[in-house]
Structure 1
Amino acid sequence: MAQPHSAAPATLLCTLAVLVQTSLSVDHVPMLLWSTQRSQWNPDTTMHEGHIISAQELTVLLQPVLTQKSRNLVLFLQDRLSIDDFTYLSESYGDKNPFQNVQEILQSSPSSLVLPAVDCKATRYLLSFLQESGDWKLTNVTDPNVSHLEVDASKPNLLVVQLQPLGSGLTEISTLEAIAENDKIIGRVTMALQERGIHFSVIYTAVRPSRVSRRTDVIAGLRRQLMAAEEEENSAYPPLNVTTGNDTCILFYARNFSLKANSSVLIDLTNATFITQNVDISASECSNSNTTLSLKYTNPVSGISSLEIRFLMTKKFYEGSARNWSTLDSVEIVQDGEKFAKFNVSVISAPAEYSSHCQLVGTSNLYPARLVPSNDEAKNWDVFISRLQIQGFNIVNNTFSYASDCTGFFSPGIWMGLVTSIILVWILTYGIHMIMQLTTNNRFDDPKGPALSVPQTE
Structure 2
Amino acid sequence: MAGSESSSKLRTIMAFIALLFALLSTGHCSSQVPLVMWSSEGYTLPPMASPAAGHIISNDQLMSYLNSALGSAPHNVLLFLQDKLSKEDFTRYGGVFGNNHESAFPNLESALQSSSSPLVLPALSWLGASAVPGLLQEKLGVSPLSVDPDTLEHLRLNASDNTLLLIILPYSTGAYLSCKEVLHSNDEVIGKVLSIMKAQGVPYTAIYTGLKPSRVIEEPSMVGQSSMGRSLLQAVVDEVKPPLMFNTTSGPCIMLWAQNLNVSFNNLEWIDLGPLTFAPGGSVSTAESFCNETNSQLVLDYGSSVPTYNPFRLIFSMSQRRYPVSARNWFTLDTVELLFNADKATYNGSRGIYAPAEYSFHCQNVNNFRNALLVPHTQNATQWRILFTDFQIQGFSILNRTTDFSYASDCAGFFTPGIWMGLITSLLMLLILTYGMHMIMQLRSMDRFDDPKGPSISVPQSE
Question: TM-score, structure 2 length as denominator?
Answer: 0.48
Give the number of the structure whose alpha-carbon radius of gyration is greater.
2
TM (normalized to structure 1)? 0.48
